[in-house]
């Protein structure tokens, strides 16, 4: 009986109550901490889910067989679709022609238009015996994609590159391909100066979307004046004989923000090609290269990639 009283005595009851209360407090603290940890983990997951942004390039549907978006400042690709597949270049070839001729012709050199220079397909209005300043003919050629202009520039430059007794055209084409190797265009090969198809199944030049992006990068960094005229919708050029009105073959030129340079290309074999460079903001050039699209699709493809690039840069 005394033991019973001792167990349930005031002193023991107080002791038991204190232990129970301490235990409950400890359990409450543990539960509270677990709730805080769980809530923080939940919030972290919610934040991570909220900050995980969709890839703006992921859902793009392009007509192009090959494409490349190149971030010049960071030297990395933002988007690529078959970027290293060699495809017919068509008139993108003329950029390499201009770069190669630049080494042999000063801007102030005179180029006389001979009848033989007008043999390539397409008529851009050049007049026999007219005399052009080399830089003006180069700008006119790239802006309007003049096959005659490219042939004339190459022919005059050929006279500076040909070895005695050698074939002038072969020597100039060799210089073009040597320049391509120097730049690092590992998938490019040039067979003529203008890019016209040699036959139904043989292009005048071949290269990849990556190569064309790198060619634009090289030109903009080393000879920006070569591509300067291609940023305008239209220009006028004066020769010895007349004033030429010249329209850009990139009909979407004014829809591209911060445009720095542009060059189109199209043949039956190549399809629609287009390479552009634009400033995405704060001197951050982006180059977009499109190969193997359609005549109209190359412009739509490029605008899609411009918009996706701007969104990507804004969000990253």
Average pLDDT in the chain: 88
Torsion of CA 133, 136, 142, 144, to 10 degrees: -110
- Residues 7 and 113 both lie in one domain: no
Share of the chain above pLDDT 70, in %: 81
pLDDT category of residue 51 using cuts at 50, 70 and 90: low
Query: Within a domain: residue 45?
Result: no
pLDDT category of residue 159 using cuts at 50, 70 and 90: confident
pLDDT in tens, 205-228: 999 999 999 999 999 999 999 999
SS3 204: coil
Query: Within a domain: residue 131?
Result: yes
- Residues 139 and 25 both lie in one domain: no
Whether this model's pTM surpasses 0.85 = no
Query: Within a domain: residue 270?
Result: yes
Q: Is the pLDDT of residue 1 over 50?
A: no
Q: Count of domains in the chain? A: 2
Cα separation, 184 vs 177, whole angstroms: 11
Residues of 84-118 as b/e, b for ≥16 C-beta within 10 angstroms?
A: ebbbbbbbbbbbbbbbbbbebbeeebebebeeebb
- Residues 264 and 146 both lie in one domain: yes
Give the side-chain half-sphere CA count within 13 A for 65: 17
- Residues 33 and 72 both lie in one domain: no
Q: Is the pLDDT of residue 50 over 50?
A: no
Share of the chain above pLDDT 90, in %: 75
- Residues 182 and 299 both lie in one domain: yes
Mean pLDDT along residues 257-285: 97
- Domain of residue 22: give its range: 2-40
- Residues 219 and 97 both lie in one domain: yes
Query: Within a domain: residue 51?
Result: no
Q: What was the pLDDT predicted at 168?
A: 74
Domain CATH code at residue 263: 3.40.710.10
């Amino acid at each position: 009986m005394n033991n019973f009283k001792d167990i349930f005595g005031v002193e023991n009851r107080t002791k038991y109550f204190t232990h129970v209360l301490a235990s409950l407090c400890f359990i409450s603290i543990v539960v509270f901490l677990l709730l805080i940890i769980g809530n923080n983990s939940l919030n972290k997951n919610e934040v991570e889910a909220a900050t995980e942004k969709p890839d703006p390039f992921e859902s793009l549907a392009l007509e192009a067989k090959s494409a490349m978006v190149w971030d010049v400042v960071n030297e990395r690709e933002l988007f690529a679709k078959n970027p290293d597949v060699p495809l017919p270049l068509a008139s993108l070839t003329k950029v390499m022609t201009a770069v190669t001729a630049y080494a042999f012709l000063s801007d102030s050199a005179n180029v006389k238009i001979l009848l033989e220079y007008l043999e390539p397909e397409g008529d851009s209005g050049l007049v026999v015996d007219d005399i052009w300043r080399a830089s003006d003919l180069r700008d006119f050629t790239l802006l309007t994609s003049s096959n005659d202009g490219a042939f004339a520039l190459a022919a005059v430059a050929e006279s500076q590159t040909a070895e005695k007794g050698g074939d002038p055209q072969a020597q100039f084409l060799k210089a073009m391909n040597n320049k391509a190797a120097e730049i690092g265009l590992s998938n490019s090969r040039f067979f003529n100066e203008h890019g016209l198809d040699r036959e139904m199944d043989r292009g005048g030049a071949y290269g990849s979307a990556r190569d064309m992006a790198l060619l634009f990068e090289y030109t903009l960094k080393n000879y920006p004046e070569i591509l300067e005229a291609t940023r305008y919708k239209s220009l006028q050029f004066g020769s010895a004989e007349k004033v030429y009105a010249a329209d850009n073959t990139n009909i979407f030129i004014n829809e591209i923000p911060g445009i720095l340079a542009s060059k189109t290309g199209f043949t039956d074999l190549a399809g629609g090609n287009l390479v552009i460079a634009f400033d995405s903001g704060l001197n951050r050039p982006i180059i977009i290269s499109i190969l193997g699209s359609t005549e109209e699709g190359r412009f739509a493809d490029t605008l899609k990639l411009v918009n996706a690039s701007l969104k990507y840069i804004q969000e990253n």
